[in-house]
Structure 1
């Protein structure tokens, strides 16, 4: 089914559908607030711990559970968008998210904070983020236009993640950490108002079957795997048990999917989305990118506050370097896409990011000056900004529009799982004793993971980014059925 031009923006003769500018404002802001929520708490560790009478590890658990809930529910959230409509799920997700933000602002203890921030905001994000990427893919049919759109959205997402420490630090220092959650609720209210004129290009499919069993198996498996990583600094046997059981649940999920397909019924995810080599490599790059972004943010923020004794605003100011790098490179995504292939951009991004981690290690080790963190964080921001957009475009463009719900949910789940694993991995190494040794060890581990991502990017085909239509073979995969 061809996607019609945006109704209020007439098509330009010879150039296809007009650029639907009004779509980008609510969609980009939605990505911004969700990414902001995932990173801004890193500079509030001491303030929240003191106010709620908890520990740094308790705050880390709240951050990780938020990211984990997003990862676990993103795939079901992508399917629900097809059944109930993309705009409806976007608005409902925003409402749930806003409720969670207000509850977090009034939290009297860690338990209520986890309920509001980790659970409700996580559920809201899982409902609202898949529509952002599905609508972008469906509305922007030209490869260059889609690169511009994803560039704007990923720029806002990257800025939200990288500027979270700065904005969170400013708000925390000027008012209170609770005001940061009120800020999120205000942004959500603005998005709901902006989305009133948002057009859903495809009608909902109320007959779409929702695979409850598959959703439970996949979510349980993901939760257990990340909880196993979180438990690594407490009990190695508990970690091994959680990882093993989580892996068994994921194996059971894939067997469930195959059984559903053999029986002629609709599973949560068709196996077709896992047979596309280009998409699989793109998903690996997405996972490791967000793992690096959140992992570096948590490591550096924890080190600055716990070891160096910096307050929230000082920590946030130091992170301005990475925010600036992300902003510059993300906003240049469309221009870069015209100059280089998606594969080249992703590889270059990884190379710059790994170099940034190396610079961070070399310059910041043992030096008492705050500015020594700037060159490394700037390079990390530049590198991540270069590759975030092409990685998303590679994955979304590997499938026709009738599979956008599935691949969008899987893509966002993989990315948020990367964020969750990055925070959990960094916390596991740092929280128990965040001294210089564990700080350096955590960055070395993240650099090695960056090299893994670079290796996956090197295997991508050179020509990617054009979305196939129904019946056309997807790049690197099977012919859609």
Structure 2
């Protein structure tokens, strides 16, 4: 579908397509954060620990990161709409399995595995279809703004919605809620038309898919092992790096031989895209890391229940929603580089306020100013980062770059929960204030690093400039 009115309002067909695509991003982001307010309830109901719940959350995010690149590639072979619907179906089944879980093992099967794989199938089509359906830079930025806003709101509002459901009924109903939303998305998506035909004869690089997934999994498992065995941590991280190096060498060899590869190495030769990918990783690392750390601290140390924790996180939701919805107007006045830098700067300030006001203060209101600033910062930069990366490549590479982009973002989410969560859990029972401060300080360093990376982006950027 051509975007004939790229400079004006979207057509009816474009609006009908955008609604289910944005809702899909919302529910997947919601799934990654709503578990944070259920830590005590799930631990008690399934006879597990905070670390057990952290493992389930990290595994969910990691499965998405590990399989997002293969998921993006499969869209070219089987069609974007077909993969979107298949992913939704698998996600819905996983949500129902999680709702009925008698123990942590079944919860990991339904939530971490089935929902994780389903997300890896359905998210790349969201970004590919948006790029193909909205061809003008202005209309595409607006569409990505809606999707990024709902994705950010899903992650930020997950604790509030999950807390309300858990407090009023049960944490299990939160998974039923997800299954219902998935059913609505499937019904709305029936009118989406794929602009590009599928190519069933396209070869699939199974070896590359396996190597990339194993490498990413080993890296994150290494971080999770940090509080148990330092040597095991170093060994897993080294093994993960070695497997990823093997993946890139294998990919280059297949390219030279003229074979189809999972991820063309030319994707990494675009400096603008590379910088944009780093900012995406850092954004989601900070968002999911801070969400887990603050939620666990509130429930385990302060003794707050799910609804109280969710209400406190309303500050993030308000900030993120406000700045995300203003993304299109902000993009007309400021460069994408400026917005990303400002976003990381606000986020770093928010973390600083959290550290200054929360430690030593018994008041729940001490969390609000810092969380509000974090929400403002993240909402301001989510859309520009997505647009920088997606607009850096032409249509023939949208499947690959969408998979890579989402993989990098979800890897950031899993790293945030793994790194900050591991630091917090390690000292949660002995020195909770110190563990909380150290975990948040690490996230502040990541935010400052994001400012420095974004500073290297071009000062003014159009789609043509990015591709050049």
TM-score between the two structures when normalised by the length of structure 1: 0.95
- Cα displacement string for residues 182-240 of structure 1 (whole angstroms, at most 9, x for unaligned residues): 00000000000000111111111112211000000000000000010011011101101
> Contact 2:337–2:454 at 8 Å: present in 1 too?
yes
The counterpart of 1:316, out of the listed 297, 310, 318, is: 310
Q: What corresponds to 1:46 in structure 2? A: 40
Matched, 1:416 2:410: yes
Matched, 1:381 2:378: no
Alpha-carbon distance in structure 1 between the residues aligned to 2:6 and 2:268: 38
The one of 12, 18, 22 equivalent to 2:16 is: 22
Please state how far the C-alpha of 1:453 moved relative to its aligned partner: 1.0
Shift of 1:16: 9.8
Number of equivalent positions = 464
Out of 443, 447, 450, which is 1:453 matched to? 450
Matches within 5 A, 1:200-279: 200-279=194-273
Residue 260 (structure 1) shift: 0.3
Task: Give the 3 Å change call, closer, same or farther, for CA 37–465 of structure 1 in structure 2.
Answer: farther
- In the alignment, what sits opposite 1:135? 129
Provide the rounded CA distance (Å) in 1 between the counterparts of 2:143 and 2:5: 18
SS of the residue corresponding to residue 386 of structure 2 reads: helix
Tell me the SS of whatever aligns to 1:450: helix
1:471 matched to which residue of 2? none
The two structures, once aligned, show a CA RMSD in angstroms of 1.3
Contact 1:342 1:465 in 2 (8 A): no
Structure 1: stretches of 5+ with no match in the other structure:
6-10, 469-473
Structure 2: gaps of 5 or more residues:
none
Once the two structures are TM-superposed, the CA of residue 457 in structure 1 deviates from its matched residue by 0.3
2:288 touches 2:416 (CA, 8 Å); kept in 1? yes
Which shifted more, 306-315 or 423-432?
423-432
Alpha-carbon separation, structure 2, partners of 1:290 and 1:200 = 29
Q: Post-superposition shift, 1:172?
A: 0.3
Aligned to 2:466: 475
CA contact (8 A) 2:215 2:240 kept: yes
What is the CA–CA distance in structure 1 between the aligned matches of 2:360 and 2:311, rounded to whole Å? 20
Q: Deviations over 1:371-414 (max 9, x none)?
A: 01000000000000000000000000000000000000000000
* Equivalent position of 2:437 in the other structure: 440
* Mapping for residues 60-79 of structure 1, pairs under 5 Å: 60-79=54-73
CA distance 1:197–1:440, shift in 2 (3 Å): same
Distance 2:69 2:349 in 1: 33
| Distance of 2:266 and 2:6 partners within structure 1 | 37
Q: SS in structure 2 opposite 1:265?
A: coil
In 1: Cα distance, 2:379 partner to 2:5 partner:
31
CA deviation string 1:15-73 (max 9, x = no partner): 69736111111001000000000000001001000000011100000000000000000
Aligned equivalent of 2:385: 391
Aligned with residue 156 of structure 1, among 142, 145, 150: 150
Greater share of helix:
2
Q: Aligned pair in 2 of structure 1 residues 14, 52: CA closer, same or farther (>3 Å)?
A: closer
Residues 458 and 313 of structure 1, relative CA distance in 2, 3 Å threshold: same
2:364, 2:157 → 1: CA distance?
17
Within 5 Å, give how 1:90-105 maps onto structure 2.
90-105=84-99
